[in-house]
Structure 1
Amino acid sequence: MINIHFIANEDGKKSIKQLPDNFTCQDFIKIIIDLFGSHATEHYTFVAKGKALNLADEVQFGVWKKNLTNGVNIFVGRRMHGGEIINV
């Protein structure tokens, strides 16, 4: 089992959850829905070890999940509505 700590930037709330050693993207999504509600994947962003998570792409998730080691902190931020990133 892998122990992971979620730290919400919005209110500082901390939660600890466990994932099986061979977890999938769907296992991770189930945990975040349990913690943050049914629209968590749309309303929040998740960052571990300086790397942002992309839950929409299972291939990218497979690469990203190496950052989820035992005891890792996952920072949870609220997504902004509207706008887009512009490189200046």
Structure 2
Amino acid sequence: MRDRLNTLADTPASDMILDLTPVTFLTSGGLGAVLGLRLRLRAAGRELHLAGGDPVSKILRITGFTQVSLHNNVKEALTAAKRQHRWRRWLRRPWIP
């Protein structure tokens, strides 16, 4: 899983959405792979949006990883990613007094 996520992180794209909606259990290795992916994307100026329901939310909350962008489903994650991309693009505009 980690190798596949690293390959995806190396693709020239903007933000990434990881669909974890079918996940009911996440091992420490899986959690480490997801959080490692988040760190790699952030270092590249990109964001990771997770789509997952209550089980994923509970796992992240219990382990203390509350700074991860978590959404109930892929549609909500896609909407948030688009909104955030527009906001970052707006912030990079040249300022003209």
Normalising by structure 2, we get a TM-score of: 0.25
Higher percent of residues as strand: 1
Q: Return the structure number with greater helix share.
A: 2
Q: Relative CO higher for 1 or 2, CA cutoff 8 Å, sep ≥ 6?
A: 1
Larger radius of gyration: 2
